[in-house]
């Protein structure tokens, strides 16, 4: 069994998700789609951090092994998970600000299609 490929699989998945998000943000003309793609991009990064914390046959880092110095290799690293809690909050905040801006754009211009908006901007 080719274990290296299996070990790389989560990272390949993360990179694929990140690339999908990047493609979506740059290539879609609808602002809502852009914002959703941005969320996908951030999810890819979150998955990446979760993947690096994983230890094969690892346990959750509470009580099962009180002496950390002796058995770090049996524990899943909790730090990336904690970091990602913050990153998720940041992602939600970004999404909220973005959606608020989209609502304002819709109110002012009556559309959220990029091509129409650029025309409207040049005519102003």
Partner 1 sequence: MIKNLIALEIAIPILIGAANFINRKRGLAYFLTLLTVTASFVIAIMILLHSLTTPSISYHFGGWAPPIGIEFKITRLNALFLVVVSSSALLTFLYGKQILFREIHKRKISPFCSVFLICLAGLYGIILTNDFFNLYVFIEIASLATYALISIGINRNAIQAAFYYLIIGTIGATLILIGIGYLYIASGTLNIDDFIKNFAQIKHLKTVKLGYYLIFMGLFIKSGLFPFHSWLVKAYKNTNSFILPFLGSISTKVYILILLKLIYLSFGTEYILHNNILQPFLIVTGVLAITVASIIALYQKDLRSMLAFSSISQIGYIFIAISIGTKASMIAAIIFILSHIIAKMALFMVCGHIYYYKNTYNTEGLYMLFKEMPYTVVIFLINAASLIGIPLTFGFVGKISLISSLIEQKMWFVLAAVVIASFITFKYFWNFSEVFLFYKKYMPKEQAATKIEVIETKFSIAPILVFTLLTFINIGLGLSFNKILLAAEKLLI
Q: How far apart are CA 118 and CA 72, in angstroms?
A: 55
Site for partner 1 in 6-35 (CB under 8 A): 18, 22, 25, 31, 34-35
Query: Which of the ranges 1-9, 60-68, 91-99 carries the binding residues for partner 1, by CB under 8 A?
Result: 91-99
Closest distance to partner 1 from the beta carbon of 63 (Å): 20
Closest distance to partner 1 from the beta carbon of 98 (Å): 5
Task: Give the binding-site size for partner 1 (rule: CB under 8 A).
Answer: 32
Q: What is the DSSP secondary-structure string of 42-88?
A: HHHHHHHHHHHH--TT-B-SSSS---TTT-GGGB--HHHHHHHHHHH
How far apart CA 24 and CA 30 sit, in angstroms, is: 10
Does 54 contact partner 1 by CB under 8 A?
no
Helix or strand or coil: residue 92? helix
Q: Biggest alpha carbon distance in the chain?
A: 69
Residues that bind partner 1 in the complex, under the rule CB under 8 A: 18, 22, 25, 31, 34-35, 38, 41-42, 45, 48-49, 52, 79-80, 83, 86-87, 90, 93-94, 97-98, 101-102, 104-105, 108-109, 117, 121, 124
């Amino acid at each position: 069994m080719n274990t290296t490929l299996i070990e790389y699989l989560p990272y390949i998945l993360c990179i694929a998700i990140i690339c999908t998000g990047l493609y979506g943000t740059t290539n879609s003309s609808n602002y809502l789609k852009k914002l959703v793609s941005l969320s996908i991009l951030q999810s890819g990064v979150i998955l990446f951090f979760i993947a690096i914390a994983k230890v094969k046959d690892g346990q959750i880092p509470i009580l099962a092994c009180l002496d950390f110095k002796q058995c770090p290799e049996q524990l899943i690293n909790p730090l990336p998970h904690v970091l990602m809690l913050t990153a998720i909050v940041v992602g939600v905040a970004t999404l909220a600000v973005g959606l608020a801006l989209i609502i304002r754009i819709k109110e002012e211009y009556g559309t959220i299609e990029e091509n129409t908006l650029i025309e409207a901007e040049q005519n102003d």
